[in-house]
Chain A
Amino acid sequence: MGNNTFQEEVFSKGFNMALWRKMLKYAKPYKNKLIVLSLFMAMLAGFDAVIPLMQRYAIDNFIVMGSTTGTTIFFIGYAVIIVIQTLIIKAMISYAGHVETGICYDIREDGFNHLQELSFSYYDTTPVGWMMSRLTSDIWRLGSTLAWGLVDFAWGICMMLVTSVVMLVLDWKLALLTFTVIPLLFVISIFFQKRILFNHRDIRKTNSLITAAFNEGIQGVKTTKTLVREEGSLDDFKKITGEMKRKSISAATFAAIYMPIVILLGSIGAGIVLWRGGTNLMVGTLSYGTLAAFITYALQFFYPIRDMARIFTDLQSAQASAERIMSLLETEPDILDNTEVLKENGFNDEENWPEIKGNVVFEDVTFAYKTGEKVLEHFNLSVKAGENIALVGDTGSGKSTIVNIACRFYEPTGGKILIDEHDYTQMPMQWLYSNLGYVLQSPHLFSGTIKENILYGKLDASDDEILRASKLVNLHDIVMKMEKGYDTKVGEGGSLLSTGEKQLVSFARAIVSDPAIFVLDEATSSVDTETEFLIQDAISNILENRTSFVIAHRLSTIRSSDRILVIREGKIVEQGTHQQLLENKGHYAKLYTNQYSMQLD
């Protein structure tokens, strides 16, 4: 079964020429280095093939003749070859490494920059882990195959060519006889290398299951203990390790067959040489030196073949990597600046950007996902500058989509959004983004200090501005209680701060640039009441005099909003102030009094 999935993954496509042509772009800056590298490898292979010839010369001219005249010159020549070989090896490793790291660097940078341009719709459907492995392991595999694969390939081809030519020239009959094992050597090598690569992958997959199981076992240990599931978990775990054991043993067994077989085939070649060559030598048609050289060649021949077979399989997995990388690089961003229109209106220059007051108008907006699922249809909404809007509704009602469209994280598929009378698709993206304050339900901080995180909202904010923002959101007093104040490290993802602290930092970050439009996905996370009070207070400070969209969970936020929108299936079913809606006795009133009466219960 596993075999089938592997074939699907790698072998079904064959060699993808178009793909490699595209990847060639990344090899281009290193063209000269790559050419020199191939030449080096050809030379190296030439020397490697020449060494047995040197030995042949020594045997036939010194030993068989019984003379030592000329040995000094001979060995000086030999020493020169060794030194040249050393220099080539040094240069080859340096060059190949340089090309490999260079290609990896270039692709990784392109990939990352491209990811930064991609829209939310991409991130919503693509797991971060997938993107991570494209930019790390896939790129390494591709880079190293391109650089070292070429090295091995050039060497292998030249080595085989030179060796064959030399053997044919020395004694073509004996050479052809020796070559009889080569086709078999090829077939077996390719068969084994493929299987070995496949087993390797299979084991890596199982190994990652073990890592995940350990991880879960450790992270969930409290749960396991309280459920008294230690034995059951161990049984589950043993199943995975058992599978790992079985797969590893069979893979190792398989690999253990390969080397003996190829060496045996090599020895059959040598055996043939001993037999036919020995006979020829006795009748005088072959010299001692040639016999020795032939034996060496026969025993060595499997090296280049093994390398070629390995490159062949490496290339297949590198191609899979290249395909995945390309699919990332070729994804078109949904939202792009319309540079022509921008130029026409003079908005390509930041100095001409109009100031945003905060009027937001949805004009007949329709939005559908790429899958065709319609979320909004002919949606109209007009928000005046400074108005606080609360959105209430079930999960999936479309309230998040409305907010995402207002922020231009998604663009409407029909109709338009006007920000202060400007259709935002005709404006630069940064125009809106740089005037946006945005706080998520689960705040995301970057590792670094509290100050650095606040600065993220406005890179050139002065200490004074930071202080003001921090005080506005009730963060300042909390920070001052910390030993290092604003230089306190927040840890990876903010893990060193409590949930409430993280939230306040993200408020400060959002407010430091004094944005005209504020978006808040209110959290219902577990913080104690007094912290919650601080957060509430911070929110009301932030929302003052700013256009805001709040996906509301807390009663107090809802109550104090200028306008509450009750959203159902992408439509506004009710809107008005808290008071008006209660008097309406519609959905909202029911929802609210329900909660309220139960609370008093």
Chain B
Amino acid sequence: MRKLKILRQFMKGNLIKYFFAILFSGVAVIFSIISPMVISFTIDSVVGTEPMNLPTWISNYVVKIGGRDALRENIWIVGLVFVLLTALTGIFQYIKNRWFAVTTEKSTKNIRDTLYDSLQHMEYYEHVKSQTGDLTQRSTADVETMRKFMANQVTQVGEILFTVVFTLIVMINLNVKLTLYSLCVIPFIFIASIIFFTKVKKVFHEVEQADSELHTTLQESLTGVRVVKAFARQTYEMDRFKEKNGNLKKEVRKLNELMAWYWSMSDLLCMTQAMIVLFISVSWAATGQITLGTLILFVAYIRNLIWPIRQLGRVISDMGQAFVAFDRIIEILEKPLEPKDIQGLTPEIKGNIVFENVSFHYPDGTCPLKDISFEVKQGQTVGVLGPTGCGKTSLMHLLVRLFDFQKGSIKMDGYEINEIDKKWLRSNVGIVLQEPFLFSKSVVDNIKMSNPEASINEIEKATKIAAIHDSILSFEKGYDTLVGERGVTLSGGQVQRVAIARTVLNNHPVLIFDDSLSAVDMETDIMIRQALSERSKGVTTFIISHRINTLAQSDFIIVIDKGTIVQKGTHEELVLEDGLYSRIWNIQSSVEEQEGVNT
């Protein structure tokens, strides 16, 4: 029931039209059942001598124009009526198809937009837990399955039901016994098609499996072509590919063989049914029990029945997929969301931050932080150092409320951070991520993302700070250069610098650099930091880095290991202290020390 409610939500505004479309498919079916009657009527009662067995209002009309004789003389009239009836069928079919398309496409757009919106507003941890591929799969393939359900399967089932019901009514009216003969094989066709299409899914799945294995092998071998060549492993790769290729061939052939059996055997059943009807009706028509026209009608109607019913199994087994797909879509929609509208405090943020006994871990217990306490005054720069792991990054995530901590308190200018509205907080705390993401649009559009109203002047100022302005100009299309998916056309260092420009485009009172200078060379690193410190007087800054040199000028440095602050102080203090900081300093400065001796 809940599912129905959600579906109704998606189809809002389109439901009435959708039902009319179903209704019209019934009307089209009725006309398509009537039109063969024109032929049988012509054969029996116009060119033949059977009595006209017509509804009164039509026979009144026929009498008015002169009865059978007039029809015999102007036999084109029945031809025209036949064409007109077909045209009517066509018109209703057209309206039905068009309305189905309009309603389902509109509803599909709703589903897509709603999903996208949910994905954007989903709690960040839900994204951490999920796999990109899975979410994308649900948003694309599953939505497509739903679309097909609304656009094709409901239509087909509706049409088949209308056809079966209306045809049966007409057939029973014509001849009950012949109708029964017409139905003797049909149930078997139906059952066979259901069984087959349910069973064949497993084989389909195996084909997909083989196909995706081939895909992976291909992808790996082609992207790793340098490795393949450098290790002279072409033959090895060819053998590996040959195996996957052969496997795919085998699986597809297996599926094809099953298909060959099913289609031929179900054809046999269908043709047998048609033959039985022909056989009986020929014998009866020869002995005068039915008219020739009735025979022609039955031969036509039996086709109406057998071919759709053979398809029904497929449609029904596909519908099962639609329900699964719908469940998977609903699962996304039901994940916890961050509020879309401002909910919470929106104080002016200056950049005084106090951590007090903050403890945090992911809901699954990983990435713990324990009893973190320190204080940052407006305009100070804090360096953060620590071994690879998630401690440093989660600390920064807390500052933009990608996560909320479990214990303790973080105060931003005196306000408890958890009470400040998330979006408000994020527009005040600028963060350059460890693995920055560029979207596949132009460089300038990427930079403008943080401030769509920024002027060209402001953008250039930002790119100059990030030391990327000249590189951008050196591209053929300059600022209009398109960034490939995940920024593949730019080098790692360039991506980081574009991301820095994007963040510093806004004048945030708090700035975080989450190891975001790692792919930039030392010289540029220094240039960027100098430019920043000139512009960002009064901005509270956090810098996470593995390079001591990057951290050395900070007002103070905190060293995080295994989730706790193990050291805190200025560079000069920490160098003299026995601990992680001085150990790393010693490794990194060994170069310089030796150099000092030499010069």
Q: What mask results when residues 88 to 123 of chain A are scored 1 for a CB within 8 Å of chain B, else 0?
A: 011111100110111011001100110111001001
Q: Is B390 an interface residue (CB 8 A)?
A: no
Q: Which residue of A has the minimal Cβ distance to B401?
A: A225
Q: What mask results when residues 480 to 521 of chain A are scored 1 for a CB within 8 Å of chain B, else 0?
A: 000000000000110000101000000001000100000100
Q: Is B116 an interface residue (CB 8 A)?
A: yes
Structural contact, B546 and A433, CB atoms closer than 8 A:
no
Q: Is A527 an interface residue (CB 8 A)?
A: yes
Q: Is B485 an interface residue (CB 8 A)?
A: yes
With both chains docked as a complex, state the minimum distance between the C-beta of B229 and any C-beta of chain A, in angstroms: 7
Q: How far is the CA of A68 from the CA of B284 in the complex (A)?
A: 9
Structural contact, A530 and B119, CB atoms closer than 8 A:
no
Structural contact, B234 and A116, CB atoms closer than 8 A:
yes
Q: What mask results when residues 432 to 458 of chain B are scored 1 for a CB within 8 Å of chain A, else 0?
A: 011011011000000001101000000
Q: Is A10 an interface residue (CB 8 A)?
A: no
In the complex, which of the residues B119, B242, B388 contacts A218, with contact meaning CB atoms closer than 8 Å?
A: B119
Residue from the set B108, B215, B242, B271 with the largest chain A CB neighbour count within 10 Å: B271
Q: How far is the CA of A3 from the CA of B434 in the complex (A)?
A: 44
Q: Which residue of B has the minimal Cβ distance to A224?
A: B120
Structural contact, A222 and B526, CB atoms closer than 8 A:
no
Structural contact, B433 and A556, CB atoms closer than 8 A:
no
A-side contacts of B423, CB under 8 Å: 228
Identify which of A247-255, A353-361, A366-374, A470-478 touches chain B.
A247-255
Interface residues of A in 547-598 (CB under 8 A from B): 553, 555-556, 559, 579, 582, 594-596, 598
Structural contact, A225 and B523, CB atoms closer than 8 A:
no
A-side contacts of B140, CB under 8 Å: 207, 210-211, 214
A-side contacts of B591, CB under 8 Å: 555-556, 559
Q: How far is the CA of A296 from the CA of B56 in the complex (A)?
A: 29
In the complex, which of the residues B108, B431, B598 contacts A245, with contact meaning CB atoms closer than 8 Å?
A: B108
Q: How far is the CA of A40 from the CA of B458 in the complex (A)?
A: 73
In the complex, which of the residues A68, A275, A430 contacts B76, with contact meaning CB atoms closer than 8 Å?
A: A275
Interface residues of B in 549-599 (CB under 8 A from A): 549, 584, 587-588, 590-592, 594-595, 598-599
A-side contacts of B80, CB under 8 Å: 271
Q: Is A131 an interface residue (CB 8 A)?
A: yes
Q: Is A386 an interface residue (CB 8 A)?
A: no
Q: What mask results when residues 216 to 241 of chain B are scored 1 for a CB within 8 Å of chain A, else 0?
A: 10111111111111111110111001
Q: Is A257 an interface residue (CB 8 A)?
A: yes
Q: Is A444 an interface residue (CB 8 A)?
A: yes
Q: How far is the CA of A445 from the CA of B249 in the complex (A)?
A: 27
Q: How far is the CA of A71 from the CA of B286 in the complex (A)?
A: 10
Interface residues of B in 123-150 (CB under 8 A from A): 124, 127, 132, 135-136, 139-140
Structural contact, B275 and A78, CB atoms closer than 8 A:
yes
A-side contacts of B229, CB under 8 Å: 120, 409, 433
Interface residues of B in 31-46 (CB under 8 A from A): 35, 38-39, 42-43, 46
Structural contact, A220 and B230, CB atoms closer than 8 A:
no
Identify which of A57-65, A151-159, A314-322, A375-383 touches chain B.
A57-65
Structural contact, B402 and A225, CB atoms closer than 8 A:
yes
Structural contact, A58 and B94, CB atoms closer than 8 A:
no
Structural contact, B449 and A232, CB atoms closer than 8 A:
yes
Report how many residues on chain B are interfacial, defined by Cβ distance under 8 Å: 150
B-side contacts of A223, CB under 8 Å: 433, 436-437, 439, 449
Identify which of B192-200, B251-259, B363-371, B462-470 touches chain A.
B251-259
With both chains docked as a complex, state the minimum distance between the C-beta of B459 and any C-beta of chain A, in angstroms: 15
In the complex, which of the residues B113, B228, B238, B503 contacts A237, with contact meaning CB atoms closer than 8 Å?
A: B113
Q: How far is the CA of A100 from the CA of B252 in the complex (A)?
A: 10
Structural contact, B108 and A82, CB atoms closer than 8 A:
no
Q: Is B109 an interface residue (CB 8 A)?
A: yes
B-side contacts of A341, CB under 8 Å: none
In the complex, which of the residues B248, B279, B485 contacts A75, with contact meaning CB atoms closer than 8 Å?
A: B279
Interface residues of A in 506-542 (CB under 8 A from B): 509, 513, 519, 524-533
Q: How far is the CA of A216 from the CA of B484 in the complex (A)?
A: 11
Structural contact, A68 and B105, CB atoms closer than 8 A:
no
In the complex, which of the residues A222, A232, A241, A279 contacts B127, with contact meaning CB atoms closer than 8 Å?
A: A222
B-side contacts of A86, CB under 8 Å: 264-265, 267-268, 271
Structural contact, A63 and B282, CB atoms closer than 8 A:
yes
Interface residues of A in 28-71 (CB under 8 A from B): 55, 58-59, 62-68, 71
Structural contact, A75 and B449, CB atoms closer than 8 A:
no
In the complex, which of the residues B117, B386, B437 contacts A222, with contact meaning CB atoms closer than 8 Å?
A: B437
Structural contact, B231 and A433, CB atoms closer than 8 A:
yes
Structural contact, A526 and B515, CB atoms closer than 8 A:
yes
Identify which of B83-91, B173-181, B320-328 touches chain A.
B83-91
Interface residues of A in 225-243 (CB under 8 A from B): 225-230, 232-234, 237-238, 241-242
Task: Tally inter-chain residue pairs, CB-CB below 8 A.
Answer: 400
B-side contacts of A433, CB under 8 Å: 229-232
A-side contacts of B135, CB under 8 Å: 214, 218
B-side contacts of A311, CB under 8 Å: none
Structural contact, B230 and A275, CB atoms closer than 8 A:
no
A-side contacts of B519, CB under 8 Å: 524-526
Q: Is A256 an interface residue (CB 8 A)?
A: yes
With both chains docked as a complex, state the minimum distance between the C-beta of B29 and any C-beta of chain A, in angstroms: 14
Q: Given A215-B136, A252-B101, is A136 in contact with B282 using a C-beta cutoff of 8 Å?
A: no
Q: Is B387 an interface residue (CB 8 A)?
A: yes
Identify which of A16-24, A184-192, A259-267, A412-420 touches chain B.
A259-267
Q: Is B336 an interface residue (CB 8 A)?
A: no
Q: What mask results when residues 267 to 298 of chain B are scored 1 for a CB within 8 Å of chain A, else 0?
A: 11001100100110011011110001001100
A-side contacts of B122, CB under 8 Å: 221
Q: Given A261-B90, A527-B388, is A101 in contact with B256 using a C-beta cutoff of 8 Å?
A: yes
Structural contact, A93 and B272, CB atoms closer than 8 A:
no
With both chains docked as a complex, state the minimum distance between the C-beta of B30 and any C-beta of chain A, in angstroms: 15
With both chains docked as a complex, state the minimum distance between the C-beta of A452 and any C-beta of chain B, in angstroms: 11
In the complex, which of the residues A78, A207, A525 contacts B518, with contact meaning CB atoms closer than 8 Å?
A: A525
A-side contacts of B386, CB under 8 Å: 528
Q: Which residue of A has the minimal Cβ distance to B519?
A: A524
B-side contacts of A556, CB under 8 Å: 590-591
Q: How far is the CA of A232 from the CA of B116 in the complex (A)?
A: 12
Q: Is B202 an interface residue (CB 8 A)?
A: no
Q: Which residue of B has the minimal Cβ distance to A130?
A: B222
Q: Given A62-B286, A526-B546, is A267 in contact with B436 using a C-beta cutoff of 8 Å?
A: no
A-side contacts of B260, CB under 8 Å: 89-94, 97
Q: How far is the CA of A113 from the CA of B485 in the complex (A)?
A: 28
Q: Is A599 an interface residue (CB 8 A)?
A: yes
Additional A-B contact list (10), CB under 8 Å, known A221-B120, A553-B521:
A55-B278, A63-B286, A66-B286, A82-B268, A105-B246, A238-B113, A261-B90, A267-B35, A433-B229, A598-B526
CB-based closest 9 A-B pairs? A260-B90, A97-B256, A252-B101, A256-B97, A438-B230, A526-B518, A271-B79, A93-B260, A90-B264
Listed by A's residue number, 27 A-B pairs whose Cβ atoms lie within 8 Å are: A59-B292, A63-B285, A75-B275, A116-B234, A116-B237, A123-B225, A211-B140, A214-B140, A224-B120, A226-B433, A230-B117, A230-B120, A245-B108, A248-B108, A256-B101, A260-B94, A267-B35, A270-B79, A270-B82, A273-B79, A278-B42, A292-B296, A436-B230, A498-B388, A531-B388, A556-B591, A599-B592
